[in-house]
Amino acid sequence: MTRLSVNINKIATLRNARGGNIPNVLDAAINCERFGAEGITVHPRPDERHIRYQDVYDIKPIITTEFNIEGYPSQEFIKLVLKVKPDQVTLVPDPPDALTSNAGWDTIKNKEFLKEIIAKFHSENIRTSIFIETDSELIKNAAETGTDRVELYTEPYAENYSSNKELAIEPFIKAAEIANTVGLGINAGHDLNLDNLKYFNQNIPGLLEVSIGHALISDALYLGLENTVQLYLRELK
C-alpha cells in the first residue's frame, strides 16, 4: 500500500497566527501517527511563517514513523537536515518568498548542484527525493544526480481531474514508467485530496508515498483529524 505522510505545516500556520502554542504542532504529529499516518512531513521556510526550525528539531525524537523534511537546499537548510537526520529529505526549487511549491527542478541545469547536495545527505544515510514535473528528460537526468526518489508535482493533475481525469493522469503514468525504468522510487504531492487521490494511486505504477497537507488539514476542520487520516488511508488501499 502507498504510504501516507501528513504535512503538518498548516497546523503551524494556525498556531503562528495567534502566537503561543495552540494548536500544538508536536501533539499534531503524534496524533497523526496514532491515527494511522505512516509519515510526518514538514517544510520549513526561511521566514518560518509556518513550521519553524525549532519545530523540526523537536519533532524528530517524538515520532516513530518516517520523518520527511522538504525544502530548498540553502546552507541553513542543509545544516538543519544534517543535524536532524530525517528518514528522507525532499529537495524543492522554491525561492524564499514562494507561497507554496509550484514547480519542479530543472535537473539538467541544476544537475551538478543537486549531485553535490545529495552526496552530502547520502553520507549520513538520508534518503533523498527531488520534487519534479513529468518531463521525461528531467526525470532521466534526475537519476543521474544520485537521488533515490522523485516526488511528482501533482497540481496539474488535480486541476484537470474534474474535467477529464484520463487526460489528467496520462503524463503522470508516463512519468512513473520512466522513473521505474531508470530505477527511481516515486513519491507524489500537491493538491491531492479525497476526490482525486484514489484514482491517482490506482493508476501510478510503483507509487511509494504521497505527502498531503493543505487538503487533509482542511478536511480535518470539518471531519476531525482522526477520521480524516483514516479516510485518506482508505483511498490508498
Residue 155 CA from chain centroid, whole number = 13
Q: Are 187 and 217 in contact (CB under 8 A)?
A: no
Q: What is the mean pLDDT of residues 156-170?
A: 98
Report how far residue 44's alpha carbon sits from residue 174's, in angstroms, rounded to the nearest whole number: 31
* Confidence label for 235 from pLDDT (cuts 50, 70 and 90): very high
CA distance 228 to 35: 9
The whole-angstrom separation of Cα 58 and Cα 30 is: 12
Confidence of residue 130 (pLDDT cuts 50, 70, 90): very high
Rg (CA), the chain: 17
Question: What pLDDT, on a 0 to 100 scale, did the predictor assign at position 94?
Answer: 79
pLDDT the model gives residue 87: 98
Q: Is 115 exposed, middle or buried (0-12, 13-18, 19+ CB in 10 A)?
A: middle
Please give the average per-residue pLDDT across 185-213, as a whole number: 98
User: Does 96 have pLDDT greater than 70?
Assistant: no
Q: Which of the four pLDDT bands, split at 50, 70 and 90, describes residue 7?
A: very high
Residues 6+ apart with CB under 8 A from 180: 186, 205, 206
CB 29 within 8 A of CB 10: no
Q: What's the full length of the chain, in residues?
A: 237
Cβ contacts of residue 49 below 8 Å, gap of 6+? 13, 16
- Tell me the catalytic residues: 43, 70, 190
Confidence of residue 4 (pLDDT cuts 50, 70, 90): very high
Give the domains, in start order, of the chain with CATH numbers. 3-235 (3.20.20.70)
Cell of 22: 495552540
Q: List pLDDT tens digits, range 43-95.
A: 999 899 999 999 999 999 999 999 999 999 999 999 999 999 999 999 999 76
- Residue 1: per-residue pLDDT: 87
Q: What pLDDT was estimated at residue 101?
A: 56
- The pLDDT, as a whole number, for residue 42 is 98
**Alpha carbon distance 202, 219 (integer Å):** 22
Q: Which residue, 44, 43, 52, 46, is CA-closest to 19?
A: 52
